[in-house]
Amino acid sequence: MSVTMRDGHYAPPDMPVRVCSHPDCSTLVRGGFSCMLHRHHTDAELRIIEKTYVRPDWDVYFTGIAQAVAARADCRRTRFGAVIVDTRHRVVATGYNGSPPGGKSCLAGECPRALKSADEVPHGSPDYSDCIALHAETNAIANADAERCDGATIYIVNADGPAYPPCDMCAKLCAAAGIARVVW
């Protein structure tokens, strides 16, 4: 025999159907619980309700955003992301390493530097003369509102390995843009 509850839900034949445990109630319930009117939270339910979350600080938060931005990078060697944040903790601009819009694609094999081996171009080599990409910091600064960069922070992330400080040229661009703090 199947029973349809007052709330309109169907109770399968193998599920126990009982009367609400509240002394003044005759509502049929499934699985031994009290009816919705008289239901009390169990200890496990209260633990879920009382679950607390720790909010990340601003540096952790914006570093995470820079990590997501790095996923858009157009480079075979390494993926960097950058986020510029103003003094009110608002995102000013983002950038990732890659060629200028509409340019050649490193991922498509059009960058001579990316086609070379690690022996030919060791990591950190300062010679970018044959690279088609702009650095993440450069792209972020190029896309930023100059007035909002005054006193700003830039977050830089290497999605493929350890973090590095900006190269000399990007450090100069950050200073020229008015960026006061660099986090990597």
Q: Judge contact between 16 and 3, C-beta under 8 A.
A: no
Rounded Cα distance between 118 and 144, Å, is: 33
Rounded Cα distance between 70 and 138, Å, is: 14
Active-site residue identified among 50, 120, 137, 147: 137
Rounded Cα distance between 146 and 144, Å, is: 6
Note if 120 is an active site residue.
Answer: no
Stated length of the chain: 184
Q: Could you give phi then psi for residue 66, rounded to 5 degrees?
A: -60, -35
* Catalytic residue set: 137
